[in-house]
Amino acid sequence: MRWGWSAALAAAALWLSCATAGAGNDEDATVMLFSGRDLWRNGTFAYGGFITAPGGFDDDGLMLKVLLSGGLYRYNAGDLDGARIIGAEGVAQILPGFRIKRFGVEAKVFFGLDVERHKLWPDDPGNRLQGTDLGMRFAAEFWTEPTPKTMVAASLGLSTIATSNSARIAYGWRVCEDMFEDGFYVGPEVQYFGADGYRHLRLGFHITQLKAERYEWSAGLGIARDSDGVSGPYVRIGFSVRQ
């Protein structure tokens, strides 16, 4: 298999995650590096990137998010009598945005360029996600702490490419404050991913804001089910560091 640009973006995402190892932590940080992995029965993905906020991350102001991701996935093609299709994906996003905090709710809104490359084996004429596509993407992230011991997080993503979309909502309780700096949050999460002809729903539990040295970690574990009727566990892990 010749993965081409999809493999190159996957390698770039892995490189970005390794690059965070030398980053430092500063209260006046204007750049945040982030990386993560996502694995379930029918797919494995890696991503990496950065967010820059010239005015800092604690004040309202302009932001820029750059993300590279890549991975492999499989599905059953309805147009090919249920034949198993293997896909390779590469994604690049350049998203200018803005951060605002009002009435205890922090919101980040992004809108910009979305570039995707998909390669399928064997060819699936019924799948719009093939070759290179150029589109626009809207993304929003919300965070609030209704009480000193609880949090609510939500995110939304919409792309013009194959009308792909995603959403997540999570609730958490702060725990282990004596063992870790400020403790961390645990609780339930619900995630949804969709595109033309495909749906994917996840129900699970998350860990959020687990701080260790310079890094802030997050993770999720639960059950996923897609529109092919396939169910199985999912695991995701991510970390970030400011500099």
**Which residue ranges make up each domain of the chain?**
5-234
Q: What's this model's pTM, rounded to 2 decimal places?
A: 0.85
Q: What's the per-residue H, E or C state across the chain? A: CCCCHHHHHHHHHHHHHHHHHHCCCCCCCCEEEEEEEEEECCEEEEEEEEEECCCCCCCCEEEEEEEEEEEEEEEEEHHHCCEEEEEEEEEEEEEEEEEEEECCEEEEEEEEEEEEEEEEECCCCCCCCCEEEEEEEEEEEEEECCCCCEEEEEEEEEECHHHCEEEEEEEEEEECCCCCCCCEEEEEEEEEEEECCEEEEEEEEEEEEEEECCEEEEEEEEEEEECCCCEEEEEEEEEEEEC
Rounded CA separation 44/67 (Å) = 17
142, 105 contact by CB (below 8 A): yes
pLDDT digits (tens, 9 = 90+) for 111-148: 999 999 999 999 888 888 888 999 999 999 999 999 99
pLDDT digits (tens, 9 = 90+) for 71-110: 999 888 877 877 888 999 999 999 999 999 998 899 999 9
Q: Which residues does residue 199 pair with via DSSP β-bridges, in sequence order?
A: 194
The CATH-assigned architecture of domain 5-234 is Beta Barrel (2.40)
Rounded CA separation 52/63 (Å) = 6
Provide, rounded to the nearest whole percent, the portion of the chain with pLDDT above 70. Answer: 89
pLDDT digits (tens, 9 = 90+) for 166-213: 999 999 999 987 777 778 999 999 999 998 878 999 999 999 999 887
